[in-house]
Homo-oligomer: A and B are copies of this chain.
Amino acid sequence: MNLVLLLPEDLTAPDRARLTGRRLAHVREVHRAAVGDELAVGLLGGKMGRGRVLRLDDEALDLELTLDQAPPPKLPLTLLIAVPRPKVLNRVVAAAASLGVARIVLLNAWKVEKAYWASPRMKPENLREQLILGLEQAKDTALPDLRLARLFRPFVEDELPGLLAGGTGLMAHPGTGAAAPKVLAAPVTLAIGPEGGWVEAEVQSLLKAGLHPLDLGPRILRTETALAALVGKLF
């Protein structure tokens, strides 16, 4: 937690916040802060700055806030990602948020098991929690837009072309030999398939919607590793 992220309901006055629970425990046990210390803080959806510790004990952390900095800009990137295994989902969502992805679409695909959609980790509360962990890691206050697309075909045929308008669409897909374009027109939409890859019909639909193939080379990377490597390459 490189930034203590405050929610609107944490504010007890315009320049005061009271924290309990996970964030209180983290500031006591990991930051080992004391009264008078200043912490990097930010208001979810708002500005960042410093919080001076007024009180810190078993029950609460009280902060006096100076919020005067804008969060870092988002990458002009929509990540279209096949729903990963529940075990991997949290890491992927938090990593995407930490990297500054502006919009995340969790998409169905042939090789996404139905059980993944039923996982408690796909609940909005959990997904939001992972986004917040990513923002706390990266020092950002702006939640990415996150949505679920349970039906591949309607999303890809009806909505994806609109998302792509004027920008660049890329589909990570091994074996095509296609390198990333040298100059990217923003916004960028990047599709990352499931473990085992997109099936051929999905590849054809994504190409038809306007995505260009992008070959990451012979190594098969985990979803979160591929995502970070692609963001590093493209931005």
Contacts and interface: CB of A to CB of B under 8 A. Distances in A.
Which of A139, A221, A234 gathers most chain B CB within 10 Å?
A221
B218 A72 contact: yes
Interface stretch (A19-27, A95-103, A115-123, A163-171): A95-103
Interface string A2-36: 10000000000000000000000000000000000
Interface in A164-191: none
Interface in A66-100: 72, 95, 98-100
Nearest to A195: B2
A99 to B, nearest CB: 7
Assembly stoichiometry (copies)? 2
B139 A220 contact: yes
B232 A138 contact: no
A47 to B, nearest CB: 14
Nearest to A216: B232
A21 to B, nearest CB: 21
B222 A95 contact: yes
Contacts of A2: 220
A95 B219 contact: no
B99 A138 contact: no
A160 B232 CA distance: 26
A209 interface: no
A219 B227 CA distance: 16
A54 interface: no
Interface string A192-235: 00000000000000000000000001111110111111111110
A62 interface: no
Contacts of A100: 219
A234 B233 CA distance: 8
Nearest to A174: B139
Contacts of A232: 228-234
22 contacts: A72-B219, A95-B225, A98-B220, A98-B225, A99-B225, A99-B229, A100-B219, A137-B220, A137-B221, A137-B222, A138-B220, A138-B221, A139-B218, A139-B219, A224-B224, A224-B225, A224-B228, A228-B228, A228-B229, A229-B232, A231-B232, A233-B233
Interface of A: 2, 72, 95, 98-100, 137-140, 217-222, 224-234
